[in-house]
A and B are shown apart, each in its own frame.
Chain A
């Protein structure tokens, strides 16, 4: 995996292009994990308030971000 090794070395060299790309990839992954976990929580009957508390954001924020996807509807929506 020489190419990846090079990339890892480049990350250690403080190249912003590489570092920022890693941040973007991490954010992308975190977004997907969040969408998956929020969907799962709703399916298991969690309230938006409970989900928001775990994520450390407001109920409105998590509702606005995830309620519109249409995958889970409830009386609360």
Chain B
């Protein structure tokens, strides 16, 4: 699958690992992939998202605040994590819910993709095929994360009013626009 990746997409994957390392996580999760993609500032999709208020610093803050909470799973039982966080932070300040001190950096120094991130990578290939694209660019990686529907993404860009579906729409429109 990686042989279809563009140089930019490879760069995004490498950056995803660095983001996970920076956040002292033992594995690479889908949200780290999102951060990796947003670091490829020359990509048209990334530029479009930046115009919509979604850039690397914003996304980093969102990931640091969610800090590994599985928002999608909470939503499946009717709990709106973004709302819980909003209420808690209103009383206790920004980042109050973060799991500081609970993190697990990798003991071996090797940071691998977790199951959800692998799913997202596999789905990025599907997303490319669905658009009849023969290569996998950074935008396809984002579509893969949305398709995999895991982790922190549902609340990541809630403040910008962007849902995963909305993100996918924007990415797809940018990637299919005649250049």
Contact = CB atoms under 8 A, between A and B. Distances in A.
Q: Do A and B come from one complex?
A: yes
Interface of A: 1-4, 6-8, 10-11, 18, 21-22, 24-26, 28-29, 31-33, 36, 40, 69
Interface stretch (B50-58, B65-73, B131-139): B65-73
Contacts of A3: 72, 146-149, 164-165
B87 to A, nearest CB: 11
Count class of interface residues, chain B = 20 to 34
A28 B70 contact: yes
Looking at chain B's contact residues, the main secondary structure is helix
Contact of B88 (A8, A11, A28, A33): A33
A26 B88 contact: no
B177 interface: no
B156 to A, nearest CB: 13
Looking at chain A's contact residues, the main secondary structure is helix
A1 B69 contact: no
A40 B72 contact: no
5 contacts: A3-B147, A3-B148, A4-B72, A18-B73, A40-B92
B35 to A, nearest CB: 19
A36 B77 contact: no
Contacts of B39: none
Given A3-B146, A4-B149, A25 B164 contact: no
